[in-house]
Structure 1
Amino acid sequence: MTPLQLSHVDSAVIGVWRWQAAIATFIVAVPTFAFGPSIPWLWPLAPALVILCGGFLTWWWPALSYRHLRFGVDETGIAIERGVIWRSRIALPRVRIQHTDVSQGPLERRYDIGTLKMYTAGSRHTMIELPGLRHEDAIALRDALLAEGAGSGV
């Protein structure tokens, strides 16, 4: 049995994640800079933390996340590896997939990528997401997983 070949998702997802982190940083930065001067002991430290943490999360973290997000598909199912600090590998057999969705938010539409969502029965990991696929690739993968997994798992 040959090992499953894993590949990266589309690198355009880095841009989406950077924009999402920049928006989140802006949401935190506005109250910090607006109300920070009224709290003297917090003022010198808070802006520096927002700038340093926001810069790291906006620029470097998306690239690290992309580097550690890989997936592979074979005749038995799909495997997803992810995680920068806490790494996980999810192996999902085709016969366990109940239904799938492909979603796109506004930023994902701008970059022409989507998120494949796979739903299974059970109490843990009932929805498994694979972000960062090109939209047409996500739709093709969704159709392939359902078409080939149409048989009964019993």
Structure 2
Amino acid sequence: MDTEPLTKLDPAYATVMRIEGTLTVLPFLIAALVMGVAGALPAPWTWAPMIVPLLVALVMVLLIPMKRYRSRGYHISDDRLRVVKGVMFHADTVVPFSRVQHLDVEQGPLERAFGISRLILHTAGTHNSSVTLPGLRHADAVAMREEIRQHVKRESL
């Protein structure tokens, strides 16, 4: 097991995950609100359909993103990248730069708005042939891509 200290992801990544969680539960909250307002249940239970979706929303917006954020990290060395993730199922992936085929830096609309990116390392092979490191400052992701690309270029000479 690797023992080097992990670099934490950008805090904006937790905010992006919170927004994504909000967008996921929003249709269910609206549906529950409509059921409550429409009077689908008798008088004392009118707001009962809101309780469970509201609790799920609180967990998905407040608790899960923070746990996911705290459980992720990475370490880059001269010859490899280590990516650690997982709340319930822990994954510790080490990618030797000699196995890297190509590199991508991607941003979705929310990531772009918060200035963060995902670094994706595509490796040789079929099983787990790509490793994604989300939640990096865009400039850091681009710098890491260039650093890894230079290493891969040196190895191929």
- Structure 2 CA distance for aligned equivalents of residues 138 and 50 of structure 1: 36
- Structure 1 CA distance for aligned equivalents of residues 48 and 100 of structure 2: 49
- Structure 2 CA distance for aligned equivalents of residues 125 and 43 of structure 1: 48
Larger of the two Rg values belongs to structure: 2
Correspondences of 1:2-151 after superposition (within 5 Å): 3-35=3-35, 40=41, 46-150=49-153, 151=155
Alignment size in residue pairs: 151
Instruction: Give 3-state SS (helix, strand or coil) of 1:81's partner.
Output: strand
Gaps of 5+ in 2: none
User: CA 1:43–1:91 in structure 2 vs 1: closer, same or farther (change >3 Å)?
Assistant: farther
- Structure 2 CA distance for aligned equivalents of residues 80 and 71 of structure 1: 5
Q: Structure 1 length normalisation: TM-score? A: 0.87
Q: Structure 2 length normalisation: TM-score? A: 0.86
- Which structure's residues are more often helix, by fraction? 2
- Structure 1 CA distance for aligned equivalents of residues 149 and 27 of structure 2: 40
Question: Letter of the aligned partner of 2:141 in structure 1?
Answer: A
CA RMSD of aligned residues (A): 2.2
Gaps of 5+ in 1: none
Question: Letter of the aligned partner of 1:7 in structure 2?
Answer: T
Query: Given that residues 68 and 82 in structure 1 are in contact (C-alpha distance below 8 angstroms), is that contact kept between their aligned partners in structure 2?
Result: yes
